[in-house]
Homo-oligomer: A and B are copies of this chain.
């Protein structure tokens, strides 16, 4: 079965890379189109910065670490994306600190800035990975400088993000923030030696602690938003669960536990961030993972709560397979198989390649584009890439 999975995953990865190489490059203004229809047609010329950064990162990662993608056209595409990002994405924010735009026109003019850290995070990922692919140390420096800015916003003073502090606005540890920073810590330190790893060790541990605070209700639930001292918040915000996000945190924690040989963390990651979100998040009636749930069983207020999105399924595949790789527990492989069946039966578009992103609760395609404001060349290829590598490892050790 694993052999067959590996074949399918490998084929899907090739098709996905082909799709984006073929349809997303803007050879006139640089950068990548990110709104791409079912058949490859660009339906909006806006360039979303999260997705620019992620695409640069993904191309470089494939180029650097997989022989069959070590091709000049992939490196060139990544470099063109990086040039566009460096030229246009960074702008001076209202607080006098560098920010990255959220969205640019085709020509690179800023359309929107978010008052969060995520555009900047994907900028760091892109620059760090591009510096590795090209050997350009300026880019590495830029990644590190932006990383310092991010740490300042998260740990010292967030006022530069531009969000006013309001008396009723309870400070919130939102899972996305420590997850994203942990991802960046792993990105920046990977293979750069003990000294760099030690430099970011405290930050990594802080991220892990912040993530672990989201385990609530005697360990039976992962909540998306908690207080900074790890207690539950009131209302919908406090009861919100995002199973796909918890599963993504799960494999981030598994990677970190491996890096530092932390067996306790590995155990927690699997039981709380892999098994628990699957138990609570899997739709027993129609299959697939819910997007949002309320831990008390109220109806979430997000209109899309019951939809099945591609990315939670991507994260689940990586989480289950990595957890199985590390433990060889057969029930984790069973979970992987279940998600694999659902995912490959519902998301890939056999006709035009790439995956649909948004299904109804019942599994019907609800939005048929391949790229949109939040879907780009990232979750699908990252999942396929991670799974292919883990499967290679599992299959070669077995042989």
Chain A interfacial positions (CB closer than 8 Å to B): 35, 37-38, 43-46, 94, 101, 103-105, 107-113, 162, 164, 166-169, 234-236, 298-301, 303-307, 358, 360-361, 366-369, 372-373
Contacts and interface: CB of A to CB of B under 8 A. Distances in A.
Given A37-B299, A110-B167, 14 more contacts: A43-B298, A44-B234, A103-B168, A104-B168, A109-B167, A110-B166, A111-B168, A112-B166, A162-B164, A299-B368, A300-B367, A303-B304, A303-B358, A306-B366
A367 B299 contact: yes
Please state the number of chain copies in the assembly: 2
A305 B110 CA distance: 26
B299 A109 contact: no
Contacts of A109: 166-168
5 contacts: A37-B299, A43-B298, A299-B368, A301-B373, A306-B366
Nearest to A303: B304
Nearest to A367: B299
A45 to B, nearest CB: 6
Contacts of A372: 301
B235 A44 contact: yes
Contact of A301 (B101, B169, B367): B367
B358 A35 contact: no
A366 B303 contact: yes
Contacts of A368: 299
A99 to B, nearest CB: 10
A236 B287 CA distance: 32
A367 B113 CA distance: 31
Contact of A303 (B46, B101, B303): B303
A379 to B, nearest CB: 16
A307 B46 CA distance: 25
A111 B166 contact: yes
Nearest to A105: B168
Contacts of A103: 168
